[in-house]
Chains A and B, each alone.
Chain A
Amino acid sequence: MYVVIWGIVKFIVLLILISLYVLFMTWFDRKVIARMQNRIGPKLIGFHGLWQPIADTIKSFWKEDVIPMGAYRVMFWLAPVIFITAVFATAFVIPFAPPIKTSHGLFHFSVVHVDVAVLFVFAFLGLTSFGVLYAGIASGGSKYPYIGAQREGAQMISYEIVLALSLLNPILMSHSLSFEKIVEAQTHHLWFVFYQPVAFITYLIAMFAVAAKVPFDLPEAESEICCGYFVEYSGMKMGLFPFGQYIAVLVLSAIMVIMFLGGWTGPFWKGCFFVGLIWYWIKIAFFIFLFTWAWATFPRYRYDQLMDISWKILLPIAVLNIFWTGFALAIGLPII
């Protein structure tokens, strides 16, 4: 009973906090990109444009909801719903702060605490592409969403495999699938990034592809297929797609930090909650900034080159890396 009540409270609080985070991210994204391009971002609404996301939200609620004539209405409406539900589901197992020891046991800062958190995240990340495929097909006879959905489906399949395989290495080393236990395993040794640099790099590249961000943002390539799968959407339905994308960025950065960079451990962390919280969020913030930094700098890949990178380069490297990890663990290489 206690767990259920706390679960509902955490659910509501995290829903609000994540939505606020997404709104803040739109502001942050626009400001950082503008500064990198030697101009000012939003400025007029609020202090340095801080109310701009609120204005954008109000605008998208007021926009006329246009549904194309040849669209399948139920699927059209259902697609963003599926997408956003799946993305939120992945965000609900991520711990947002180190766990606290209370009298009833450990208090976890994620809405649900599952011992197989990594598997759960992967299952729902795959479901997000369902939403995108629905959006592409349901837009009637329009060709651009169809092409965008095609690309998204192929891209997701290819890069999720690489993601999963590179995450297998820290799991092998720490013998657990739960986030808290992986961080705990890193307190006994150095951070896993020093033992698994190759997995770190393959995860870094695959992270961009799974979140569909530059240089892998083909499904949404603005200049070629005019915004791909959500070209026929308008108003809040369209707003839900970038919303989900920002949450995916947060989830993937958090997983990166937990698995490879020691989560909430760091210099001066000796079990203290607040120091751990600060280190955790500094690391996540760096990776979120990295997404924006890459968006400002790089062009995007072509479809077949994207597939080449995944299947011909990253996948063999990831598999060989697993063999090496397994071999090293089997012969009992000393871990420092």
Chain B
Amino acid sequence: MLFNDFRKGLSVTFKYLFKKPVTENYPYEKIKMPQRARWLHHFNPKKCIMCKLCENICPPKCIYMTVVKNEEGKRELKGYDIRIDRCIFCGLCTEVCPTKAITMTDVHEFADKDRKNFHFNMEQLSKVGQEEEKKVG
């Protein structure tokens, strides 16, 4: 009858008026991610030995490697495409790569308006993480 339960509940919400909010000031302050963050891939063609382990393990099959034999008879990596719109960011490709040619960086702001822009080819993948943030709120 004394409305004790109401009084206690009201005091809990009242004391939060004087506490500091926990909101992060994104996008004016960038989020700091841990070292193991699994976001956009970075591919280094020089380290790749064309073992095709990443292509075989990818669950949605979004890595496409084109390997041709050049004039000297050696295998050469002609194309390495990742379809980011199919990728589930599981990180299995980075775990199986024996030379760490493909790694996952913490670049997470790659939203786009056109689906075709999500076919990342070898050149775009090798430049990930080196350009400044082009999209800021």
Q: Which residue of A lies closest to B8 (CB)?
A: A297
A293's partner among B13, B21, B22, B23 (CB-CB below 8 A) is B13
Q: Is the CB of A297 within 8 A of B23?
A: no
Interface residues on chain B, size class: 10 to 19
Q: Is the CB of A36 within 8 A of B6?
A: no
Q: Does A63 contact B (CB under 8 A)?
A: no
Majority-rule SS of B interface residues:
helix
Q: Which residue of B lies closest to A201 (CB)?
A: B3
The distance in angstroms between the C-alpha atoms of A317 and B14, with both chains bound, is: 30
Q: Is the CB of B17 within 8 A of A36?
A: yes
Q: Does B19 contact A (CB under 8 A)?
A: yes
Q: A40 to chain B: which residues have CB within 8 Å? A: 21, 23
Smallest Cβ distance from A301 to chain B, in angstroms? Answer: 13
Q: Give chain A interface residues in 19-61, CB to chain B under 8 Å.
A: 32, 34-40
Q: Give chain B interface residues in 1-46, CB to chain A under 8 Å.
A: 6, 9-10, 12-14, 16-17, 19, 21-23
Q: A297 to chain B: which residues have CB within 8 Å? A: 6, 9-10, 12-13
Q: B12 to chain A: which residues have CB within 8 Å? A: 297
Q: Is the CB of B23 within 8 A of A36?
A: no
Q: Which of A39, A40, A297 has the most CB of B within 10 A?
A: A297
Residues in B lying within 8 Å of A, measured CB to CB:
6, 9-10, 12-14, 16-17, 19, 21-23
A-B contacts, 20 listed (Cβ < 8 Å): A34-B21, A35-B16, A35-B17, A35-B21, A36-B13, A36-B14, A38-B19, A38-B21, A38-B22, A39-B23, A40-B21, A40-B23, A293-B13, A293-B14, A294-B10, A296-B13, A297-B9, A297-B12, A297-B13, A298-B6
